[in-house]
Amino acid sequence: MAKDNNTDKQAQLTDLFNQLVKQHRNFDQPVLELSSHEFAKAGLIQGMVEGNLTPPVMLLALADGHWENAADTAKFDNLAYTLLSDTDSDWPVFAVISDGTNNRILSLFGSDGSDGTHGVDVLPSLEELNSFDRLERDPTFRWSMRIYTHLMHRFDAFHENVYRVTKDKVNDKNDIIEEVAKLLFLESFRIYHPDIQFTDKQGSKHLFSSVFNWQYVKKEGDKAVNLIKDAFNEFKSHKDYIVTSDDGSKNAIFSDDTHLRLSVPKNYEDLLEALQNLGPVINNDGRTAKENGTLGDVSGDLLGRVFDVFLRANFESKGGLGVYLTPNPVKQAMLEIAINDIAKDDDAIARLSNGDFRFCDPTCGSFGFGSVALSQLDHLIDTQLGGLNDREKEALKQKLRNEGFTGADAAPRMVMLARVNMALQGAPKAQIFYTDNSLTTAALKPNSFDLICTNPPFGTPKFANNKNGQASKKTYEANMEQVLGGFRPTEQVADSYNAYYDHLKMRWDDTGDLYLDENGNPKWAGYRTDLRQTGGTDKKPIYSLAPSTDGLALGSKPDKKGNWKPVGASIDPAVLFIDRCLQLLKPGGRLMIVLPDGILCNSGDRYVREYIMGKKDEKTGEFVGGKAIVKAVISLPSDCFKLSGTGAKTSIMYLQKRRASPDQPEQFLPEPQTDVFMAVADTLGYLVKNNIEDYNAGVPNDLDLIASAYKRGE
């Protein structure tokens, strides 16, 4: 009976596959069928354009109950490599997938310059397919894909073994991720500093590459582990991995009190063997390019994708620290839309060509947005900057890696993971640093960034009614009041002083109420500089709004007469982050931000929306006085961040900061508000069930369609 069922399944797969072939008759070359598989049937199709073969496209029929292999791109990558392992054909650039009920089209492995495999709404035409040249640009791409699959399996197996079996001095799943990151950091020294030595606790010197080796660990056990720990303690502050922020502060990847926790030699042996025993590097044509490959030979974006997939699959967000990893479909869509517009902006392309383009995420987590941006900007350089030769393009890419990426976060662990993530992609100098509060840090300067993509903390924390809860509430409110710019600080330390810092004149101006620190400096150099005292008395001043390119005002709000008053500590931090991000952007820069829907809809937050885009002039219909042009609002499903412990309804808001007047660079030009692109994503390709992302639910990723529609101008 089991044999009959299997025969029926294969017959159904064959019928479904044949239907896919018939639907793509314009691919008129013979179909190359791939290796047989238990629940899949696949083949490659090609067409002909002006006598030239197009890159192949994979057709994939899935048996019922296995749709997760199309919905979850990481699982698809694994299946695709298995199916393609026995063929010498060129690697496919797209896949068309069906299980008879659900259908999906995928762009494979970042073939269009995006960050890895992702969904698209339509298969390109035969003519368009000829523009996909990833395999020609990367002669070891197939080998890199094999290593990608290998590392994904080995990382997950290592994580599960330590978590379930050996424990090995770690407290939770996130500790294990941190230990993997530390060993990846050390592996970069073995690859890029082959002759570096370190000193052990007894004062003896050792060649690091001889010690940090899975075969040496297998032979020497505890001795090897102790030496590796000594090496980590020495290398964690290496000058090549210390970055300087805009305020001049120095930031290492690891703090002085960070050490390797793992102590079981077998754990070191297993993970190092996974990282180091990669075999020969094979070109796409099957020839050996290098006898012993390392992670340095793996395509950078694929290596970053391994780390990102491993992190998202195993990271536990719940625990009260407010760390929410943004789902990959959301990151991908946000960057895809923004980069599409940047490619059409002559000023932005000019800054990119000069190496002056800067990206930032002020609440960066593991810097997932930055990783996607890095990959897409690489593609933009390859395809849009035709005036540069290959050498100049590579130099520009490295300049961006060294100077073009900035991130900040209040969770030290996430900063470390972000730094390692970018180091794996050739950007160890990315300016990612720890800060108590991105709203107040002097390391983020106004008018500095071309693109900000972020998912900031939102919502006011809830506190218990007991003594500890109320004490925590009091501390939170005191901290928020200081952030709010000095309207209601916890302690007044002087009677009167200047309130407004003019970033152009480089001096304090416009006398008004402000509170200083113990050194006589304003508690926050970014004070609410868009508010001017226009009346009242010293004790009861009246403030009005005067928008400027480097100013702030939210944290205050207008009363019915239009006079701006301080708000309380219960304000949603997301409101402050909108204001802060607009301040940090260069005039004309772009902001992609995830926000709670209340800010976009509630009547009480209307002043926020008017602050952004201005008030509508009833006579002209134009919006006057705002700081930004609203480009798009995309509603996200309610379970988008459910796994992170929040069910808040959210949306993506896309803003472009208005351009500045050439004669008065602190003032905005009166640019018109254009039509706003509006869309609703009901599903992201999965449903959250039993605390996991269920990609077998057969739901579409609506953001595929939405991003494509935006790019087409619909």
Q: What is the pLDDT of residues 192-239, one digit of tens each?
A: 888 999 999 999 999 999 999 999 999 999 999 999 999 999 999 888
The conformation of residue 543, written as its DSSP 8-state character, comes to: E
CB 73 within 8 A of CB 79: no
Helices and strands, number each (H, E), in the chain: 22, 32
The parent domain of residue 18 ranges over 2-136
Q: How many CB atoms lie within 10 A of CB 85?
A: 13
Q: Give per-residue pLDDT as tens, 305-360.
A: 677 777 767 777 654 334 567 887 899 899 999 999 999 999 999 999 999 999 99
What residues form DSSP beta bridges with 542? 535
Asked whether the predicted pLDDT for residue 498 surpasses 80, the reply is no
- pLDDT of residue 537 exceeding 80: no
C-alpha closest to that of 124 among 135, 108, 138, 136: 108
> Mean pLDDT in the chain?
84
The helix/strand/coil state of 90 is coil
Contact 657, 577 (CB under 8 A): no
Tell me if 519 is assigned to some domain.
yes
User: Rounded distance, CA 508 to CA 524, Å?
Assistant: 12
- In this structure, the answer to whether residues 144 and 123 fall within a common structural domain is no
- 63 and 173 inside one domain: no
User: In the block, which residue shows the tokens 């001889």?
Assistant: 210
CA distance 219 to 213: 10
d(CA 543, CA 540): 10
What local confidence, expressed as pLDDT, does residue 487 receive? Answer: 34
Statement: residue 492 has pLDDT above 50: no
Q: 623-625 and 614-616 as β-strands: parallel, antiparallel, unpaired? A: antiparallel
On the question of pLDDT at 588 being above 60, the answer is: yes
Cα separation, 293 vs 508, in Å, equals 58
Q: What is the pLDDT of residues 549-580, one digit of tens each?
A: 988 888 888 998 888 887 877 888 999 999 99
What local confidence, expressed as pLDDT, does residue 230 receive? 97
* pTM > 0.75: yes or no: yes
The total number of structural domains in the chain stands at 3
Q: 687 — phi, psi (to 5°)? A: -125, 145
Would you call 692 exposed, middle or buried from its count of C-beta atoms within 10 A (0-12, 13-18, 19+)?
Answer: exposed
CA pair distance 482, 491, nearest whole angstrom: 9
99 and 179 both lie in a single domain? no
| Residue 23 binned pLDDT confidence (cut-offs 50, 70, 90) | very high
Q: Which of 514, 536, 571 is the last residue of a domain?
A: 571
Please tell me whether residues 50 and 191 are part of one structural domain.
Answer: no
In a domain, 450, yes or no: no
Q: Are residues 492 and 529 in the same domain?
A: yes
SS3 632: strand
Considering 540, 571, 602, which residue would you say is the last residue of a domain? 571
**Two structure tokens written together for 154:** 């080995």
Within a domain: 412: no
Amino acid in position 54: T
Shared domain for 130 and 153, answered yes or no, is no
291 and 198 in a single domain? The answer is yes
pLDDT for 504: 42
- In angstroms, the Cα distances linking 644 to 105, 315, 383, 593 are 28, 10, 37, 18
Structure tokens at 676: 């706003």
In a domain, 494, yes or no: yes
Provide the percentage of residues in the chain whose pLDDT is more than 70.
Answer: 85
Is 666 in contact with 504 (CB distance < 8 Å)? yes
275-315 residue pLDDT tens: 999 999 988 777 898 999 998 888 766 777 677 777 767 77
Structure confidence by residue, pLDDT tens digits, 600-613: 999 889 999 999 99
Greatest mean pLDDT among 135-139, 316-320, 404-408 lies in: 404-408
The pLDDT, as a whole number, for residue 644 is 62
- Predicted confidence at residue 300, as pLDDT, reads 65
- Both 120 and 172 in one domain: the answer is no
Q: Is 685 exposed, middle or buried (0-12, 13-18, 19+ CB in 10 A)?
A: buried
pLDDT in tens, 681-707: 998 887 777 666 676 667 788 998 899
The closest alpha carbon to 254, from 273, 272, 231, 270, belongs to 231
CA nearest 366: which of 337, 332, 324, 321?
324
In terms of domains, do 60 and 186 share one? no
Residues 202 and 120 occupy one common structural domain: no
Note whether residue 560 is domain-resident.
Answer: yes
Tell me, yes or no, whether 153 and 266 share the same domain. yes
Q: Is residue 312 part of a domain?
A: yes
* pLDDT for the residue 81: 83
pLDDT of residue 505 exceeding 60, the answer is no
Q: Are both 97 and 180 inside the same structural domain?
A: no
Look at residue 604 and tell me if it is in a domain: no
Integer Rg of the chain from CA? 27
Q: Name beta bridge partners: 615.
A: 624
CA distances to 86, 141, 144, 370 from 282, in Å: 14, 9, 9, 30
More confident of the two residues 60 and 552: 60
* Nearest-angstrom CA–CA distance, 321 and 363: 13
383 in a structural domain: no
Tens of pLDDT, residues 157-169 = 899 899 888 889 8
Structural domain ending residue among the three candidates 295, 316, 337:
316
Pairing of strands 405-409, 359-361: parallel
DSSP 126-166: HHHHTT--HHHH-TTHHHHHHHHHHHHHHHHHHHHHIIIII
* The predicted structure's pLDDT at residue 475: 77
Q: What is the pLDDT of residue 142?
A: 74
Q: What digits encode the pLDDT tens for the residues 415-427?
A: 998 998 888 888 8
pLDDT higher for 500 or 187? 187
